[in-house]
Each structure stands twice: as structure tokens, then as C-alpha cells.
Amino acid sequence: MADAPLLVTETRREQIFPTLEPAEVERLGRFGKPRTYAAGEMLITMGEVGFGLALIVSGEVEVTQRDGLGNSRLVVTYGPGSFMGELAQLAGQPSLAEGRARTPVEAIQIPPEQLRAVLIAEAELGERIMRALILRRVALIETPASAPIIVGRPDDADVLRLQGFLARNGQPQRTLDPESDEEARTLIERFHIDPASLPIVLCPTGQILRNPSDHALANCLGLVSPLDPTRVYDVAIVGAGPAGLAASVYAGSEGLSVLALDCRAFGGQAGASSRIENYLGFPTGISGMKLMARAHVQALKFGVQMAIPDEASALASDAEAFRIDLADGETARARAVLVACGARYRRLDVPNLAEFEGSSVHYWASPFEARLCAGQEVAVVGGGNSAGQAIVFLASHVRKVSVLVRAPGLQASMSRYLIDRIAALPNVELICHAQVTALEGEDGRLRAVTWSDRRTGEETRRPINHLFLFIGAEPNTDWLASCGLKLDAKGFLVTGTEASQGAHPLETSLPGVFAIGDARSGSVKRVAAAVGEGAQVVAQLHTYLAGRTPPMEASS
């Protein structure tokens, strides 16, 4: 196996590109079918959904990456005992690389469903294969030769949206600034792009998208595929945050057929957290994205079908199953439904807020936002744990963090460890009894923030270009309005006996529809609590499905 020009350390090279022993190749052979390739024949084409894993028995395969501009680079050369693939093969997504037979090749094709069987039946060998698939995806993201190319200003709201969408979905990307990058200017001239129509995205296939929606970009990259409207899943899970992913993992591991939907990305609000330090088992902390990415891979391992981004717009039922209508016109059907769609961020009551959202007003603090405001003064509004995590993260990147809270302090709303850490940061100023009253700027760029003291009315104006809002959330349950589900006074879903006599603890007023996580009335807004509900609800699902009556009869 030839050296590969990947940005990975030699200490992990054997984990990324392991060579299996002949006995291990023989054991894996029963999970696939033999196939031969002539020299020069393609085993997998970049941008196309492959057949799964290719176990090389004899011969050599060159794996390369190619970008939308036609540039290519060698990733690795596989020989006997190697296997070709990465996480895309497990998820049924298009490949980020392509493989061509350098010599005549004998291989064993292992399709995704059989690959999942390998990971479960062959524990030690499956662990090595899974680790390699994950690390290969990480390496491909770190060296994004085959990534979509975003052309636009780095501080443009749509550029940030597209970057965030790709990052949250574990996809590589490149961004070129037309004001400073010669390659970007060449692209604009070559394809006769009006600068006013930026950003554009150049997909690895060469297709150009002009300021695409998240869903349009996902379609171009092959991240979503059409759903079978005739298939009836055991359970459809709406929302892929901590609660939804936990339910996916436990339901999938127990043999239920599972469809998981999310309108944007896996991970939910937890996936946007810069660091979670009070989650059991991670004493040094872990980023929300890493924690949720591991859960996402676990769900794929157990055969969960992910439809991301796909937005649920309505819930109905017929004599056989529940029907979820999607915003793109598709439908999904399931015998039971888990509502895990969480909550949406609460917005400031300031007239021109929308002008600055996405470019200067942010609802999470990730490395993208940190780069945007490096060395500047920023303001954070909110006194909960999410705000605390953002403050700690941003303080290491910016000149100053002004923390605005309506309360007299943080003690009533933030964990002690975060309060102590914030108090020790020299570039953080806590401003209590503060309420934002005005935002100033132009062309989507914030220039100043004004707040007032709620006790005295005294106003303060500061030249701040980036404002971070963590002021709570509202239930994301509007799409359920036609179902007549019982809600509490704040719009959260009521469950258990408060919803209906004899209902399971996490079941709503409509039998077969369950609510978990932040969308549920009375839920504890913590990642661990959401994960616990996701695990707990699966037992109730089994009980419901075992004694199930069709939805129309249950609701009549």
C-alpha cells in the first residue's frame, strides 16, 4: 500500500488503512459477493452512491479525489487485505473519492446492509473497520479536495449558512473570497457570474448552484434520496438532536425499522455547543458536534435511515399508519411517531433584528463565528448554560465579551462550574439588569448595540459587530397544529396521564405519537435528560406496537 498524502499522523495510519490477515479476509467473505475488475476499470465513482465496502483480495486500486475544477490527487493505493470505503458507504451517500483498478483486481463487494451485519457479528473486526471508516471521513474533511466550493464574502449571511450546514452534516467544504482569491475571480469570470448573485456553490460534479437552499445543496451532493411512500416504518422520528438520535440508536439496535428526519442537520442545539463538560463519562469535556456525530454514526450502524435535511410539515393518519407530510412534497409512513423536534431559538424584540441575523446576529458559537469576530468585542445575551459555554469559548478568540443579562446575576440560571470559569476570565464583563433596545448597521453588518439598565433606564451604546443570543427557546410544534395534540400553556406537548388516561409516560394525547426531549412539556433541558428519554421511549414503543390498533381506530 503506497504512501498517501493525507494530513494524518503516522501513529494513526495503521488505524486508517489497516491490512487484514488472510483469515480475516476469509471471514468477511461470507458477507459479500466476489467481483473482478479489469485494469483501468472504476470500482467507485465520486459523487455516486457505491455498492458498499470493497475488500481487495488481489491486485491494486488507486483512490483519488477530484474537485469541481477538474483537479485530482492521489489519496491511497490499496493492495490485498485492504478494504475501500468510508462513512458514505455505511450511510448510503455518494462517495467523496473514486477508485480505479491499477491492475486486474479481485474483490469482495459487501453491501451496506451486510456491512452493518459485519459490524455487529464480528465485534473486534467490526470495531477496526468502523474506526477506519470514521477516520477516513475525518481525513477527507481535513483535506477537502472533493469538497463543494463556496464562492462569496466570508461574512455574508448565506455563506455562513452554507458553511454551517455542511459542517453540521459532516461534509467537507472550501470557501473562496472573490475579493482576495484569484481562483474565485477566475471562477466568476469563467461562468459569467454576476457578483450580486453571490454566493455560488460549485459542486464536485461541476454543477453550479446560485445561493442554494440547504435542501437544494443537499440534493446536489446526494445527501438526500427520495423516500418510498409505500414503505411503512415501525417508527418515524422527527428531529435528530440528542433525544432523536438516542431513540434512533436504541430502536435500531432492537430491530425496529427506523426513519429519522431533521430539517437541517443531526445534533440539534447540542450539536452547536462548543463544549459540553457535564455530560457523564467525559471528564475533560467534548464538543457537542463530536458527541452528536458519534451518535449519528451509531444510528447508521444499526440501520437507521436518515433523511436530512427533510422538514416535516404536517402529521395525519389513515387506517394503516401515520403519515408525515414533508415540505418538499414527499410523504413518509410509520406505525408510530416520535416527536423530538426540540425548540427554536427565541428572538430579541428589536425591530430590525432580521437584517443582521446570520451575518452579525448568531444563535450559536462555533469556530465559524469565532473566526468572524476574532480580536473584536462581542456581546452575549443570556444567562443559561448555553450562554455560559459560548462565553467561555468566545473569550479565547475575541478581545472582549460583554455579557448582558436581565437578572441581577447568573446564580439562578447557570451551573456553578461555568459561573466560576467566567469569573476567572479577564476579558469578560458581566452587565446585569440589561436589556437590548437598539441595533445599528447597514448592508446586514451590525455596527453598534444599545442596551438600557432596567432599573434606571440609563442607556449604553457600544461599537459591537457581533451579537450572540441565548435567551431561551420556544417549542417547535407548529407543524402539528392540525393534529389536535394537547399542548401546555407555552405550546409544549403534554404526555402521559396528563395527556390521556392510560397513556404511556411519554405518549401524547394521540395514541402512537410520543414526545421526547425539549418539545415535551416538563422535560429537563439537558443533553443527558434528552438522551435518557430517547432510550426510555423505546420500551414504551415496543409495548404500543405489540398491542397496536390502527391510528384511525385509536383516535375515533
Q: Assign residue 32 the CATH number of its domain.
A: 2.60.120.10
Q: Where are the alpha helices (DSSP H) in 122-240?
A: 123-142, 157-168, 182-190, 214-221
pLDDT digits (tens, 9 = 90+) for 431-446: 999 999 999 999 889 9
- Strand pairing report for 98-101 and 61-66: antiparallel
In a domain, 391, yes or no: yes
Give which of 382, 467, 469 is closest to 432, Cα–Cα. Answer: 382
97 and 46 within one domain: yes
Scored b (16 or more CB within 10 A) or e, 431-446 reads: ebbbebbebebeebeb
Q: How confident is the model at residue 50 (pLDDT cuts 50, 70, 90)?
A: confident
User: Do 478 and 331 share a structural domain?
Assistant: yes
113-119: long-range contacts, CB 8 A cutoff, minimum separation 24 = 113/303, 114/31, 114/32, 114/52, 115/31, 115/52, 115/53, 115/85, 115/89, 115/90, 116/90, 116/301, 116/302, 116/303, 117/31, 118/28, 118/31, 119/301
Q: Give the 3-state secondary structure of residue 107.
A: strand
Q: What is the mean pLDDT of residues 12-34?
A: 92
How buried is residue 477: exposed, middle or buried, by Cβ count under 10 Å (0-12/13-18/19+)? buried
Domain shared by 438 and 532, yes or no: no
Share the mean pLDDT of the chain: 90
Find the mean pLDDT for residues 210-236. 92
For the stretch 167-194, pLDDT in tens is 888 888 889 999 999 888 888 888 888 8
215 and 281 share one domain = no
Domain-located, residue 100: yes
Q: Quick one: pLDDT at residue 302?
A: 93
- Name 33's Cβ contacts closer than 8 Å, sequence gap at least 6: 108, 109
Q: Are 428 and 362 part of one and the same domain?
A: yes
Distance CA 41, CA 258 (A): 36
pLDDT over threshold 50, residue 317: yes
Answer yes or no: is 533 within a domain: yes
Does residue 131 share a domain with residue 38?
yes
| pLDDT value of residue 192 | 87
Closest by CA position to 499, among listed 488, 546, 338 = 488
Q: Is the pLDDT assigned to residue 555 strictly greater than 50?
A: no
pLDDT at residue 443, as a whole number: 86
The domain boundary residue, chosen from 424, 445, 471 = 471
User: Does 546 map to a domain?
Assistant: yes
**Residue 10 pLDDT:** 52
Cis before 172 (ω within 30)? no
What pLDDT, in 10s, does the model give residues 348-361? 999 999 999 988 99
Q: For position 263, which CATH number holds?
A: 3.50.50.60
Say whether both 408 and 454 belong to one domain.
yes
pLDDT at 11: 57
DSSP string, 482-551: GGT--B-TTSPBP-GGGTSTT--TTB-SSTTEEE-GGGBTT---SHHHHHHHHHHHHHHHHHHHHT---H
Structural domain ending residue among the three candidates 436, 456, 471: 471
Q: Does the pLDDT value for residue 328 go beyond 80?
A: yes
Does 2 map to a domain? no
Q: Are residues 506 and 481 in the same domain?
A: yes
Is residue 42 one of the residues assigned to a domain? yes
Residue 444 has what pLDDT? 87
What per-residue confidence (pLDDT) applies to 552?
A: 46
**pLDDT value at position 271?**
86
Q: Is 215 helix (H, G, I), strand (E, B) or coil?
A: helix
Q: Is 71 or 178 the better-scoring residue by pLDDT?
A: 178
Packing angle between helix 242-253 and helix 288-301, nearest 10 degrees?
Answer: 20
Question: Is the pLDDT reported for residue 556 higher than 70?
Answer: no
Confidence of residue 551 (pLDDT cuts 50, 70, 90): low
| Domain containing residue 175: CATH number | 3.40.30.10
More confident residue, 343 or 34: 34
Quick one: what percent of the chain has pLDDT higher than 90?
65
**Domain match, 16 and 135 both:** yes
**Backbone CA torsion sign across 63, 65, 66, 71:** negative
Query: Using one digit for the tens of pLDDT, what is the confidence trace for 382-407?
Result: 999 989 999 999 999 999 999 999 99
Q: What is the arithmetic mean of pLDDT over 302-318?
A: 93
The three grid cell numbers given for residue 493, joined into one nine-digit string: 406537548
User: Do 357 and 340 fall into the same domain?
Assistant: no
Say what the pLDDT of residue 197 is.
86
Grid cell of 418 as nine digits:
461555568
The pLDDT tens digits of the residues spanning 239-283 come to: 999 999 999 999 999 999 999 999 999 998 888 887 888 899 999
Q: Is the pLDDT of residue 553 over 70?
A: no
Task: Verify that 212 and 248 share a domain, yes or no.
Answer: no
Q: At which of 111, 142, 173 does a domain end?
A: 142
Residue 5 lies in a domain: no
The number of distinct structural domains making up the chain is 4
Instruction: Tell me how far apart the alpha carbons of residues 193 and 187 are, in angstroms, rounded to a whole number.
Output: 8
**What confidence category does residue 204 fall into, taking pLDDT thresholds of 50, 70 and 90?**
confident
User: Which residue range forms the structural domain that includes residue 533?
Assistant: 232-344+474-555
Mean pLDDT of 521-533: 93
Global confidence as pTM: 0.86
For the chain, what is the total number of helices (H) and then of strands (E)? Answer: 16, 29
Do 332 and 227 touch, CB atoms closer than 8 A?
Answer: yes
Which residue type does 438 have?
A
Assess if residue 423 is contained within a domain: yes
Residue 68 pLDDT level (bands cut at 50, 70, 90): low
How far CA 332 is from CA of 272, 328, 554, in Å, comes to 28, 12, 20
